[in-house]
Amino acid sequence: MAMKRIGVFICHCGRNIAGTVDVKRVAEEIGKREDVAFSTTYVFMCSQPGQKLIEDSIKKYNLDGVVVANCSPTLHEKTMRNAAARAGLNPYRVEIANIREWAAWPHEDNPEAATRKAIRIINATIEKLKANASLEPIEVPVTRRVLVIGGGVAGMQAALDIADSGIETILVEKEPSIGGNMFRLSETFPTLDCPQCILTPKMNDVGGHPNIKLYTYSEVEDVEGFMGNFKVKIKKKATYVDWDKCTGCGECLRVCPAHVDSEFDLKMAKRTSIYIANEQAVPLKALIDENSCIRLQFEKKVKEGKIKPKKNVKICSKCADVCEPNAIHFQNNEEIVEEEVGSIIVATGYEVMPAEAFPELGGKYPDVITALQFERLLAPSGPTAGIPRRPSDGKIPKSIAFVHCVGSRDPQNGVPYCSRICCMYTIKQAMLVKHALHDAAVYDFYIDIRSNGKGYEEFYHRAKEEYGVNFIRGKVSKVYKVGDKYRVQGVDTLTGRIVEVDVDMVVLATAAKGSSTVKELAKKLRIPYDEWGWLKETHLKLKPLETPVGGVFIAGAAQFIKDITDSVSQGSGAAAKAMALLSKPQLEKEPLLAKVDPEICAGCGRCKDQCAYDAITIDPIRHVSVVNEALCEGCGACSANCPTTAIQVVNFKKGQVVRAVDVLAEVF
Amino acid sequence: MKYTITKDPHEDERVQKIIEISGQNIFSCYQCGRCSSGCPMAEFMDVLPNQVFMFLQEGDVDTLLNAKTPWICAACFTCTVRCPVGLDLAAVMEAIRELQLRKNYDYVDPYKVEEREELPPIAMVSNFRKFTP
């Protein structure tokens, strides 16, 4: 039923529209149409009196359709549809004609043309509106559970907040312990609390929370489903130890003869092949690294037929021999578990570029390390018990140089952006060196000090005034070995001359990037990411936690490198988003989705190939396309590719769009 | 131009001396440049006032002792009034001059000054006090 009593409301938008477009003339011209029952103008349609005008007019003139000519529909389509709904008109009978961005703003120099264009845009919108159907929102059921991916500080905060609200939460962490990068840190700026003191309570809360199901040493294998109803496959990697029996006593660690670089200590220390991630790990459980375990390697080679075992050969089982609860079974216990959740929070964190990526800055030398590695040397729980020592010879350094912006702000050799946290942690590390080694000389080569947080600038001034750190403004060009020392060749741009200094150790503040495994994960979740591995938010300012996939949120450094304060805030923010989503028994969804006419559809599958949301399947029996309403986002890619117009987006049907285009394309 | 830092500038005796004489922690300067931008004499100086702090922070006292800047400084205190961290640069300039003066840098034998009868006494006094190369 085509509409016959349409109301047209033209907004002045102050002078934004009315300053260029002759709104009175537009209202008169549109009012001449037979299908328009009422047309008027108002200074701000989005204001409360403006909305009241629409409501009152719908009732007074018994309108069956409304066109509001104002700004972009992304701004006020919802406002106007809600106003219509209050007056009893189906909200999908309201259309927005964007005469501000399309007519007033681009043609400020030609008011006559702008006015005519506005009239034409409104006429086209009326043509489109006339065939609009009344629609009701689609209801989708919800699973009241949340999956949090990443057990760093942001993920833990999100999991705790959701679990505290009574919603069951599943936390997946790929490392054997939660804690993330924050737990590697020595102390935190600008308050100098140690993570061993402030993070362990949170870790223990997560470990013991009745509403949190913790999967450490696990990875998300596959994600299916849609907002409110995700099905997730989680791979629990092989530990070769029964964690139900393991008490975390650590006896096995003392007897294991195989040693490899410790992942937790970032190669600054060795660990045994059977290991516990760190002394305060949650969960405190031992696991065997199959790549270094003598027994597992032997068994693997036997299995592959590379060696033949002699009879009665005794293979190392020292760990199992000392294990009182008999937890070590050497059996591959890899397992896939399935979980159903309603919302997913991705908090996969960051990584730093390796020192080896910067050979000109000495990255090839053992005593030139990244700042994250240096954190382990400064940490009281670390391999050197908080007194930094040179990795090459274990000597306590008498002088240390810090280099800022290694790879950051350097699109040619690294990343174009500022890594945000380096200035502050470098200043902190310089201070901590002075704490540990009072007479060590500390040189800090920076380009700019970016200390934009609460208490940060004051922290920098403390380092300068009280701690005796030498700050030199200019980027270091090279670091090379001279005898036992490393010569740092920099520049002082403030006095305009080259500066050289010989030091015992160099710490590089290398650029931060998204977690190396995040791209794989993002593909499984169908969320976008950029070339540096940062997950993309829906809107940088107004929707920083949302992704284009409904029900999937991002938090912490997964979105972009950020400090602990911001990561915790985002963790809580994402938790609130997930809780809001799950607060209703059912979800409402815009009904502007693709619909298939099974009479016409030939089941060719072109729409299925185009669908970015995996919303279309081909019914094998009837051989026609079927749209999953919960997954469909109404983008229209299917419709544009359908050879028979069998699949169309509701209220964007071919006739509607073509009639609107006809009006717009008439010779001017 | 190249400068090699051989020891921690914080440990440099002459830097310590300048801190002691001036009473200023020269390491609190964070190089905003406001002293230089407001200095009425800066255009005549070979080392800008903010660079004075930078040289000191790098332990390079020699450059400052050989520079004209400390002697061109009129001690007008514009920099001191404007400094955001409250450093008294005029006092630091005086300390640098003092360091030089204590080496008898401006030693003048009054008896060897020709025309000393004609010079006003103030000229002799200022000659002792502040040597202008």
Into which CATH architecture does domain A590-650 fall?
A: 2-Layer Sandwich (3.30)
CB A652 within 8 A of CB A640: no
Chain A residue numbers touching B10 (CB-CB < 8 A): 441, 468, 470
Q: At A495, list the tokens.
A: 């006095």
Q: Using CA atoms, how far apart are residues A265 and A269, in angstroms rounded to an integer?
A: 6
Q: What's the CATH class of domain A145-237+340-349+516-582? A: alpha beta
Position B133 pLDDT exceeds 60: no
Per-residue HEC secondary structure of A279-324 comes to CCCCCCCCEECCCCCHHHHHHHHHHCCCCCCCCCCCCCCHHHHHCC
Return all residues near A342 (Cβ < 8 A) that are at least 6 apart: A142, A143, A144, A145, A146, A227, A228, A229, A230, A551, A578, A581, A582
Residue B104 has pLDDT above 80, yes or no: no
Least confident of A164-168, A212-216, A582-586, B50-54: A582-586
- Asked if the Cβ–Cβ distance from B25 to A468 is below 8 Å, we say no
Half-sphere exposure of A247 (CA within 13 A, CB side): 7
Tell if the CB–CB gap between B3 and A499 is shorter than 8 Å: yes
Q: Does residue A1 have a pLDDT over 70?
A: no
In this prediction the ipTM stands at 0.87
Length of chain A: 668
User: Does residue B25 sit within a domain?
Assistant: yes
Burial group, residue A52, by CB count within 10 angstroms (0-12, 13-18, 19+): middle
Tell me how far apart the alpha carbons of residues A227 and A527 are, in angstroms, rounded to a whole number.
Answer: 13
| B4–chain A nearest CA distance, Å | 5
Q: Is the CB of residue A150 less than 8 Å from the CB of residue A558?
A: yes
B3 to chain A: closest CA residue: A499
Domain boundaries, chain A: 6-135, 145-237+340-349+516-582, 251-333, 352-513, 590-650
Query: Which range has highest mean pLDDT (A300-309, A518-527, B94-103)?
Result: A518-527
Considering the domain boundaries, does residue B109 fall inside one?
A: no
Looking at residue A105, its pLDDT comes to 96
pLDDT-based confidence at residue A286 (cuts at 50, 70, 90): very high
- What are the tens digits of pLDDT across the range A103-147? 999 999 999 999 999 999 999 999 999 999 999 998 888 999 999
- Chain A nearest C-alpha distance from B103 (Å): 26
Residue A589 banded pLDDT, cuts 50, 70, 90: confident
Angstrom distance (rounded) from CA A6 to CA A32: 12
Q: What is the pLDDT of residue A418?
A: 97
- Residue A635, CB half-sphere, CA atoms under 13 Å: how many? 16
Fill in the DSSP letter of residue A93: G
In a domain, B69, yes or no: yes
pLDDT at A74: 86
Return the structure tokens found at A561.
Answer: 């490198």
Within a domain: residue B41? Answer: yes
CATH of domain A352-513: 3.50.50.60
Alpha-carbon span A615 to A632, nearest angstrom: 5
Give me the pLDDT at residue B132, please.
Answer: 45
Q: State the pLDDT at residue B130.
A: 57
Contact flag A495-B8 (C-beta cutoff 8 Å) = no
pLDDT per position as a tens digit, A594-647: 999 999 999 999 999 999 888 999 999 999 999 998 888 899 999 999 999 999
Interface of B with A in 20-49 (CB under 8 A): 25, 27-28, 30-31, 47
User: A interface mutation test: which of B2, B3, B5, B31 has the most A CBs within 10 A?
Assistant: B5
Residue A539 DSSP code: B
Q: CA-CA distance, A472 to A468, in Å (whole number)? A: 13
Picking from A532, A640, A648, A540, the residue whose alpha carbon sits closest to that of residue A593 is: A648
Q: In this predicted model, what pLDDT tens digit does every residue of A240-250 receive, in sequence order?
A: 999 999 999 99
Domain that holds residue B85: 9-102
Contact B5 A461 (CB under 8 A): no
**Could you give the percent of chain A with pLDDT greater than 90?**
91
Single-letter amino acid code for the residue at B18: I
**Out of A461, A470, A499, whose CB is closest to B8?**
A470
> Which pLDDT band holds residue B128 (cuts at 50, 70, 90)?
low
Name the helix (H) or strand (E) containing A520. Answer: helix A518-525
Q: Which residues of A400-413 are buried (b: 16+ CB within 10 A; e: fewer)?
A: bbbbbbbbbbbeee
pLDDT confidence band for B101 (50 / 70 / 90): confident
Structurally, chain B folds into a number of domains equal to 1
Contacts of A441 in chain B (CB under 8 A): 7-8, 10-11
Cα separation, A159 vs A617, in Å, equals: 34
Chain A residue with minimal CA distance to B58? A470
Least confident of A297-311, A393-407, B60-74: A297-311
Residue B57 lies in a domain: yes
Burial class (CB within 10 angstroms; exposed 0-12, middle 13-18, buried 19+) of A628: middle
Residue B81 lies inside a defined structural domain of this protein: yes
Architecture of the domain made up of A6-135: 3-Layer(aba) Sandwich (3.40)
| Same fold for the pair A145-237+340-349+516-582 and A352-513 | yes
Q: Are strands A497-503 and A350-352 parallel, antiparallel or unpaired?
A: unpaired
Q: What is the pLDDT of residues A299-352, one digit of tens each?
A: 999 999 888 887 778 889 999 999 999 999 999 999 999 999 999 999 999 999
pLDDT of A458-508, one tens digit each? 999 999 999 999 999 999 999 999 999 999 999 999 999 999 999 999 999
CATH number at B15 reads 1.10.1060.10
Question: CA–CA distance from A627 to each of A178, A607, B23 (Å)?
Answer: 40, 10, 79
Residue A40 pLDDT: 96
Angle formed by the axes of helices A73-86 and A48-61, nearest 10°: 50
pLDDT digit string (tens) for A194-253?
998 999 999 999 999 999 999 999 999 999 888 899 999 999 999 999 999 999 999 999
Is residue B31 assigned to a domain?
Answer: yes
Q: Are strands A485-492 and A512-514 parallel, antiparallel or unpaired?
A: unpaired
